[in-house]
Amino acid sequence: MPRYRLTLEYDGGPYNGFQAQADQPTVQGSLEHAVTAFCGETVRVHAAGRTDTGVHATGQVAHIDLAKDWPAETVRNALNAHLRGEPIVVLEAEVAVGDWHARFSATERRYRYRILNRPSPPALDQGRVWHVKAPLDAGAMHAAAQVLVGHHDFTTFRDVACQAKTPVKTLDVASVARVGCEVVLVFEARSFLHRQVRSMTGSIAEVGLGRWTADDLKAALEARDRTACGQVAPADGLYLTGVSY
């Protein structure tokens, strides 16, 4: 039974997250329906990350197991044909080797968060950025974000509904840079807690707005207390941009 590795791009706005749910539109559900329409098989799509409601992806990775040995290009083209009209695209499809697994074989996940930082709201990027009117100090945000890098207990930045066995994670990269009217945050780690990126982003933004200092961010981390978290950034600006194996 061949396993196919899929690289996906999608707009998470119309979906109630990635994971399939009864009577709710989800990315996983749409993909599974497309597979059935293509080859008649009922399969489970396994993804590297279960993105939340409204979260987007430019480099999500998933896999499916099919009974028939199809050319990878046929799988990609057929799924895209049956996804027409939905904001989900299979960018690449290839045959996986050995026991490779989209989720369990991943060694790093990369997220990008886009903040539109100008007085005027977005026209073309509505639903794809977090609009913050007040000026943000991207340099201060980047400097403060470095206190989060490393091996820590991230309870403060963990959603209360998180099902991870431990709040301890290793954050490899936390960078902030201004690109024109946008402030872009990049996070890299082997894995993340539920809503960790959005929670960290909202707290780092408090520094950019001048309401927090780097010491305040460090104190919030060390509190290991969800109530110490700053605002939680909305899903609109968050993208899963890549997965390494």
Residues carrying an active site annotation: 52
Return the closest-CA partner of residue 196 out of 166, 181, 177, 208.
Answer: 166
| DSSP string for 106-168 | --EEEEEEEEEESSSPPSTTTTTSEEE-S---HHHHHHHHGGG-EEEE-GGGS-TT---S-SE
Cβ atoms of 64 and 3 closer than 8 Å:
yes
Q: Are 20 and 34 in contact (CB under 8 A)?
A: no
Query: Residue 20: how many CB atoms within 10 A of its CB?
Result: 18
CA 48 to chain centre: 10
Token readout for 85 is 């009209």
Distance CA 153, CA 213 (A): 20
Tell me how far apart the alpha carbons of residues 64 and 96 are, in angstroms, rounded to a whole number: 10
